[in-house]
Structure 1
């Protein structure tokens, strides 16, 4: 039962990210608040479960992101998978240090925004200058998602501890 908890939790957060957030936080002219809550959760999963698990969750969720919210298929699938993989490469050294985990989350969200902007800029899909992008979208997104990462980190740590105990119990009884 517990192994289905993470995919269900990601699906629920994906729905919340795309619906409730836009209702609760009205848009402003100066800043674009882009919730990447599912991506933050995938980075945390990648830290705890490993880079390949993060790649799998990131690729699948990124594909959903592309299909639902983007007109180009593959940009978010690649970006989510690649950055989740990178976030989980050093998971053993980061796993028990909260400040390092927050740093990895903030760097991953920052990398996601920069990578998607770079891809869109490179193919000529956007014409927003980098200065405007950095002030209006990159900075608010990093702040919003970093705060979400700090808030969600503690409950997810408890879930992962419970999953680890369950896995140890299963392996011991076999």
Structure 2
């Protein structure tokens, strides 16, 4: 049963992403800015840092699966989020070895991951012709608000789930030793 907790949390976050902007007060949403919630990705960053072992890549696998689900449910082009999440989480997975696993390191990894994810999504959408926003406007009106909103979400999520992920990681290590 415990193996289902991570996918259930990711599924819950994926469904909340669809209504995230409606949950925010109207005063927080500025007229010209676009805030794109990447809550699944923020949780994947925490999984990469606090749950994945050296030999396991659950965060990358979940990135592919839930990226594809987000593509199916919310977008018109399959593979954009799947590729972006898997690509960014793979880089985060490699960088986590050089950065301490504390709130500052996680925020830094979340920042890098959000930038990589959102830029790659926008680049792919620009290539296939689904968006024509100039890069200057993109950085000002979409990327910067998206980074701020997702890092704020990561700050809220961090104390709620980190200890549980570490405990589940310990159980995973003990389960591997028994096998």
State the TM-score, normalized to the length of structure 1: 0.89
Cα separation, 2, equivalents of 1:173 and 1:63: 34
Paired positions, count: 173
Post-superposition, which runs of at least 4 consecutive aligned residues in structure 1 deviate over 6 A?
none
Cα separation, 1, equivalents of 2:36 and 2:115: 12
Q: Which moved more, 1:84-93 or 1:1-10?
A: 84-93
State the TM-score, normalized to the length of structure 2: 0.87
Partner of 1:17: 17
Cα RMSD, aligned residues only: 1.9
Instruction: Report the secondary structure of 1:94's partner residue.
Output: coil
Aligned partners of 1:58 and 1:77 also within 8 Å: yes
Q: What whole-Å deviation, never above 9, does each CA across 1:134-168 have from its counterpart, x for those lacking one? A: 11111100000011111111222111122133234
Instruction: Report the secondary structure of 1:73's partner residue.
Output: coil
* Aligned counterparts, 1:31-70, within 5 A: 31-48=33-50, 49-50=52-53, 52-70=57-75
Instruction: Report the secondary structure of 2:16's partner residue.
Output: helix
Q: What whole-Å deviation, never above 9, does each CA across 1:81-120 have from its counterpart, x for those lacking one? A: 1111111123344352321111000110111111111111
Gap regions ≥5 residues in structure 1: none
C-alpha distance 95-53 of structure 1, shift in aligned 2 (>3 A): farther
Partner of 1:146: 151
Do structure 1's residue 120 and structure 2's residue 125 form an aligned pair?
Answer: yes
Which has more helix, going by share of residues? 1
